[in-house]
Amino acid sequence: MSKKMLSFSAILLLSLGLFCGCGANDPISRSGFYFDTIITVTLYDASKENVLEGCFDLAGQYENYFSNTLPDSDISKINAAGGTPVTVHDETIELLEKGISYGKLSDGAFDITIGKLSDLWDISLKALLEETDTSMVPSEAEIAEALSTIDYTCIKIDGNEVTLTNPDAKIDLGGIAKGYIADRIKEYLLEQGVESALINLGGNVLTVGEKTDGSPFTIGIQYPFREDGSSIASVQVADKTVVSSGIYERYFEVENTLYHHILDPHTGYPYSNNLLGVTIVTKNSVDGDALSTICFALGLEEGITFIENTEGTEALFITDDYEIHTTSGMGTEVPFKKF
């Protein structure tokens, strides 16, 4: 018997941009559901309300490029092409190249051809919110078959043409697309003259500037598995992104064993390394997206070493004893508070 779990307080917490303070201007917000996540954009200037619609136009546009479930998206066309070249948009090429670069950097711990394995486990938000109890642990044979399709080097790019040299491979940009979309929304807001805003894509929080009183935003980091939506720590940032990945976000249980959504492309199973979550603080959300997964894959010690050798980036790790561990810059360059 399996038990599906998803913290609804966590969804609410993430969708509201965790918690933050603002200045004299009342915030205006809008939310929508794209790319299997809740997107919320909050502006701290009511005169800019008209630009909110453009934010979600962008979200819809990029979902139509990057989704692997919408049949007419660029990625779905590549996945369905049987190894023949497919012409895609410039932004799709840009994101694929970013994904490939992080595959190389992580020795495959981050691999955007994980699509068959992700489908096999099906720990998506949509699946977890369904009332029917269909979650199960895949068989070893099913996992082995999915693993045979994972290899980011099979993605070949020639101009705007993309070819999968393994026609059975399936690209899944879910581990990096949210960050890219957040960065593009921020770029759009800056072009529209917005000086203070929060962009939240299901745990990818990106700040535009600082609060209207000139102080940094305070972003809460969820206390793992707490149903009340409380935070275990907070970080103060201005014009940066805070990206969290954790085993408490999407998971199911079978016979008292927890299976979460952060899958190891080498073993085919969810990572098991005594980590509950990783939070990355950096400039661009697309980088934070990939780095949070890579650091989770590396584990505590190697993850800290990795980030301390990554310029302009800091990290916070939560271990399974609920202790907080940070890279050297956290608390100085990126002030944080533990509750």
As averages over each run of 10 residues, the pLDDT of the chain (339 residues) reads 42 39 68 91 92 96 96 98 98 98 95 95 57 66 96 98 98 95 97 96 92 94 87 95 88 78 92 94 96 94 95 96 93 83
Q: What pLDDT shows up at residue 322?
A: 94
Both tokens assigned to 97: 């190249």
List all residues 6 or more positions away from 75 whose beta carbon is below 8 Å from its beta carbon. Answer: 65, 66, 67, 68, 92, 171, 172, 173
Cβ-count burial 320-333 (b if 16+ within 10 Å, e if not): eeeebbbbeebeee
Q: What pLDDT shows up at residue 334?
A: 87
Q: What pLDDT shows up at residue 157?
A: 98
Q: What pLDDT shows up at residue 126?
A: 46
The number of CA neighbours under 13 Å toward the Cβ of 24 is: 2
Both tokens assigned to 204: 């990818």
Q: What pLDDT shows up at residue 25?
A: 58
Work out whether the CA dihedral 172, 178, 183, 185 comes out positive or negative.
positive
- Which domains does the chain carry? 2-338 (3.10.520.10)
Are β-strands 28-34 and 336-338 bridged in parallel, bridged antiparallel, or unpaired?
Answer: unpaired
Model pTM? Answer: 0.88
